Amino acid sequence: MTNGLENGRSESGRPEKLCVKITRAVWRRLQTVQPITLFTFILVVFTGVQVWAFMESERAFVFPMEANFAGPPIDGKQPFDFYLTLQNTGKSVAVIEDMVAYISHELPPLPLAFPGGVKFGAPPLSQTVKVRAHVHFPSGPLMAETTTEIRTGKKKFYFFGKVLYGDDFSALLGSRSSQFCFIYARNVADPEKNTFVSCPEPGHLKAE
């Protein structure tokens, strides 16, 4: 005669959940393992977790801190050039592998796929170092009406993109990335001092 535990049912007669079955199977297996073998297994797992945590704590962490125009603000007379300030707040040297940026009046839906865009580069970043990368958009100037709408805050103007970089641990843990997003913010007191601030929209600022 078989009991309920042998045919996949609990003592109450209800079907057991998969996690319960796995837990019971693991527990039965552990009861047959020699203490020294179990201790060695636990030690290996614990050491592996410690090594992983150490590598993660020593990795580079790059994120774009601020953005602004490299030349005159929006004047409707020339293409756009930006400065993007990057900072490495991690412990390893970060080597930039790829960077792409976009300008738009609307943000694309999440998750961002980053097709096309403008490619740009930056030198390696050591710990705490800030680097100002230059981003050039070859598209022509804006129409006068659009320029006025952006400067007065009637039309949004986004500058966003992604930074992909590696460090000493990328061979084992893979490359890291940061998504940045800035929006042109109007200075009511002095329009000539309009600048960029981080996007308020959730999900468009991300570090992995």
* Across 1-5, 11-15, 141-145, 184-188, least confident range: 1-5
Residue 80 pLDDT: 77
Does any domain span residue 157? Answer: yes
Considering the domain boundaries, does residue 191 fall inside one? Answer: yes
Cα 22 to chain centroid distance, Å, stands at 35
Mean local confidence (pLDDT), 10-15: 52
By the 10 Å C-beta count (0-12 exposed, 13-18 middle, 19+ buried), 50 is classed as exposed
pLDDT at 86 over 90: yes
Specify whether the CB–CB gap between 180 and 84 falls below 8 A: yes
Question: What is the reported pLDDT for 41?
Answer: 67
According to the model, what pLDDT value does residue 154 have? 82
Residue 192 — very low, low, confident or very high, per pLDDT cuts 50/70/90?
A: low
Q: Confirm whether 101 is domain-assigned.
A: yes
The 10 Å Cβ neighbour count of residue 36 is 8
pLDDT averaged over every residue in the chain = 78
For the chain, how many structural domains are there in total? 1
| Residue 43 domain-assigned (yes or no) | no
Phi, psi of 49 (to 5 degrees): -65, -40
Asked, for residue 49, whether it belongs to a domain, the answer is no
**Residue 20, domain member (yes or no):** no
Specify if 27 maps to a domain. no
The Cα 77–Cα 71 span in angstroms is: 12
- Report the alpha-carbon angle 52-55-59, nearest 5: 140
Q: Range of 197's domain?
A: 62-207
Does 2 score more than 60 pLDDT? no
Distances in Å between the alpha carbon of 116 and those of 102, 113, 158, 189? 9, 10, 16, 37
Residue 146 lies in a domain: yes
pLDDT tens across 29-64, in order? 766 766 776 667 676 676 767 665 656 678 889 999
Residue 178 backbone dihedrals phi, psi, to 5 degrees? -135, 130
| pLDDT tens-digit map of 113-131 | 777 788 998 999 988 888 9
Q: For residue 85, what are its two tokens?
A: 């300030």
What does pTM read for this prediction?
0.70
pLDDT of residue 4: 45
User: Domain holding 144: CATH number?
Assistant: 2.60.40
